[in-house]
């Protein structure tokens, strides 16, 4: 990972072979970031996406092993059980120009990844039994 700019926000370039979640969580941990808005573009491989079925309170997962264009990643960094946590959704384009999208569980940079991290106030995720997921909250 290369940090291209800093100050009140950060622009990062992730390099081939870096896993998005692990790299961005490590960056947040190193910088003491407890809340941030994240966006990104690039090219990834070995993506795992999910769709949340509220009625069953579980994710359906799909693997995309091939290289895909990361057209858009939108999400946030927060704390979950005291540790950095990345919640992100993506739109990916396959080589046949069809799209796939959803909750991002994992993806590895295939060519490059360009990410903007805009720190915010500290945010945490707390369990919500109505939906079966830890939802974003501001700490009390």
Split at pLDDT 50, 70, 90, the class of 56 is very high
pTM of structure: 0.94
Write down the domain spans for the chain.
Answer: 2-126
Q: For position 83, what pLDDT does the model report?
A: 97
Mean pLDDT for the stretch of residues 112-116: 98
Task: Tell me how far apart the alpha carbons of residues 71 and 85 are, in angstroms, rounded to a whole number.
Answer: 22
Residue 25: strand, helix, or coil: helix
Q: Where are the beta strands (DSSP E) in the chain?
A: 2-5, 10-15, 36-53, 58-64, 68-80, 83-93, 99-119, 124-128, 133-137
Mean pLDDT for the stretch of residues 1-18: 91
Could you give the percent of the chain with pLDDT greater than 70? 99
Residue 60 bridge partners (DSSP): 51
Q: Retrieve residue 29's tokens.
A: 């941990």
pLDDT at 33 over 80: yes
Q: For position 140, what pLDDT does the model report?
A: 52
| Pairing assessment for the beta strands 124-128 and 99-119 based on DSSP bridges | unpaired
Mean pLDDT for the stretch of residues 42-54: 99
CA atoms within 13 Å, Cβ hemisphere of 112: 6
CATH 3.30.1330.80 fits domain 2-126:
yes
pLDDT digits (tens, 9 = 90+) for 68-110: 999 999 999 999 999 999 999 999 999 999 999 999 999 999 9
> Average model confidence (pLDDT) for the chain?
96
């Amino acid at each position: 990972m290369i940090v291209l700019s800093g100050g009140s926000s950060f622009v990062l370039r992730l390099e081939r072979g870096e896993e998005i979640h692990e790299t961005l969580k490590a960056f947040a941990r190193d910088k003491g970031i407890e809340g941030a808005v994240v966006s990104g573009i690039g090219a990834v491989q070995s993506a795992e996406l999910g769709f949340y079925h509220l009625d069953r309170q579980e994710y359906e997962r799909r693997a995309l092993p091939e290289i895909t264009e990361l057209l858009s990643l939108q999400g946030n960094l927060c704390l979950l059980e005291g540790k950095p946590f990345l919640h992100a959704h993506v739109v990916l384009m396959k080589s046949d120009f069809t799209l796939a999208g959803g909750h991002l569980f994992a993806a590895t940079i295939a060519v490059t990844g360009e990410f903007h991290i805009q720190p915010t106030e500290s945010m945490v995720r707390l369990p919500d039994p109505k939906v079966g997921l830890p939802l974003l909250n501001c700490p009390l």
